[in-house]
């Protein structure tokens, strides 16, 4: 089961919807940044899940750090968009370090049980 990648995909969909739900105002740059971050997350997660690029999901760490940095330096701290982007970035950082097949034993253990 690839639940960490699917969780990241859901967070990226939230990043796309959040500017309209939380009403970021007229700031199109914040909407553009959220949509670009969501597209990058979706691309990396799809690579990790469908093409079995084992470590592609680690690129989400860079996107999450960029989103966190943008929220910290460029947005007013009391804005709903800032708080949303910080929470989403922290969740992405936590999920990105989990392996794609987090519920399975390590590959070496799986190989050991194939021989039995």
Q: What are the tens digits of pLDDT across the range 45-103?
A: 888 888 777 788 889 999 999 999 998 888 788 888 889 999 999 999 999 998 877 77
pLDDT tens-place string over residues 16-59:
998 888 887 777 888 899 999 999 999 998 888 887 777 888 89
Whether pTM > 0.75 for this model: the answer is yes
Give Rg (Cα) of the chain: 16
Q: Which residue ranges make up each domain of the chain?
A: 3-115
Q: Distance (Å, rounded) from C-alpha 103 to C-alpha 31?
A: 35
């Amino acid at each position: 089961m690839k639940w960490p990648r699917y969780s990241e995909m859901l967070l990226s969909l939230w990043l796309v919807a959040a500017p309209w739900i939380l009403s970021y105002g007229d700031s199109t740059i914040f909407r553009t940044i959220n949509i670009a971050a969501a597209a990058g997350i979706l691309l990396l997660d799809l690579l990790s899940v469908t093409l079995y690029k084992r470590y592609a999901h680690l690129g989400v760490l860079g996107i999450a750090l960029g989103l966190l940095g943008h929220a910290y330096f460029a947005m007013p701290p009391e804005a709903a968009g800032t708080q949303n982007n910080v929470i989403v970035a922290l969740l992405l950082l936590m999920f990105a370090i989990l392996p794609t097949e987090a519920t399975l034993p390590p590959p070496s253990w799986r190989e050991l049980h194939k021989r039995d």
